Amino acid sequence: MRAEQVTEPHAHHGEGPVWDPSWGGLRFVDMLAGDILTADLASGEVERLHVGEVAAAFRPRTSGGMVVAIERGFALVGADGSVDRLPELWDDHGVRMNEGGCDPQGRFYCGSMAYAATKGAGTVYRLDPDRTVSVVLPDVTISNGLAWSPDHRLAYYIDTPTGRVDAFDHDPDTGLVVDSRRPVVEIPGEWGGPDGMTVDAEGYLWVAMYGGSAVRRVAPDGTLDGVVEVPGVKQVTACTFGGADLDELFITTSREGLSDDEQPTAGAVFSVRPGVRGLPVLPYAG
């Protein structure tokens, strides 16, 4: 399969796409610009909302608006675009939030990383609906994709330098069962680095390959099932299903570290219809 470009390269470091009908379709982040972009897929244009120094990850809220992971913590964005920053979680300016998602009970998880990608400098945090924050998983390096199985019994997680996808049991009352962590997919180095991830309605994982010009569909047992090529772009960052029937895979890309004349479509959004459907986005219950 081969993806097609559906927006101009609006983002420097495009990441974290989310489809939700409540806001009319597709949003994604220009992470290091601190912006959330709403895409008009008919025109290919975008509208920006600035939320902070970093816009790492976000999800819709059941009460309207969004929950967002910003540089050193969380923020709540109203339906009117107002930004309510919650207290910072750390004061080290060398560490920032990176990627996250909500569990089926509406708790928002996001993991951090050092700007220098220092080993073990990151932490996965959880923001509960009552706005309390807890540490879920310390000592991670580049905390990335996080997604739940269709039956909500498993959570899949990527810490990019490990070169794999891990699984955790999920408990409805307590969330991720940390001591149940085990590897489920080993990513060969020639594929690139595993980055963002989504899960389809059949329970298969779609993993964006940073440096690999592709998204790979992988069975829960680790078997490679399919490849979506992203032409002209090496740094493929994340993906999500969207469209009226959740049958279109939207893929974000990055031009971080590239010169102006390298990979001119890097930073654009691409899409493909792979013949399977995704799952509705899990919202934040706060």
Give the DSSP H/E element, type plus range, for residue 136.
strand 133-140
| Residue 62 in domain | yes
The response to whether 45 counts as a known ligand-binding position is no
The response to whether 59 counts as a known ligand-binding position is no
**In the block, residue with structure tokens 């013949």:** 275
The pLDDT score that the predictor gives to residue 42 is: 86
User: Is the pTM for the entire model greater than 0.85?
Assistant: yes
| Residue 280 in domain | no
The response to whether 164 counts as a known ligand-binding position is no
Domain that holds residue 72: 4-272
| Residue 236 in domain | yes
Give the chain's residues under pLDDT 50: none
| Residue 259 in domain | yes
Q: What is the CATH number of the domain that holds 118?
A: 2.120.10.30
The pLDDT score that the predictor gives to residue 43 is: 85
The pLDDT score that the predictor gives to residue 64 is: 94
Residue 284 to residues 51, 63, 168, 274, Cα–Cα distance (Å): 17, 9, 20, 28
Taking a C-beta distance cutoff of 8 angstroms, is the pair 83, 77 a contact?
yes
Of 62, 61, 66, 64, the closest CA to residue 28 belongs to 66
The response to whether 195 counts as a known ligand-binding position is yes
| Residue 279 in domain | no
| Residue 32 in domain | yes
d(CA 285, CA 111): 19
d(CA 40, CA 167): 35
Q: Cβ neighbours of residue 44 under 8 Å, at least 6 residues apart?
A: 6, 7, 8
| Alpha-carbon radius of gyration of the chain | 17
| Residue 248 in domain | yes
The response to whether 27 counts as a known ligand-binding position is no
The pLDDT score that the predictor gives to residue 211 is: 97
Total domain count, the chain? 1
Q: Which residues are annotated as catalytic?
A: 195
The pLDDT score that the predictor gives to residue 45 is: 82
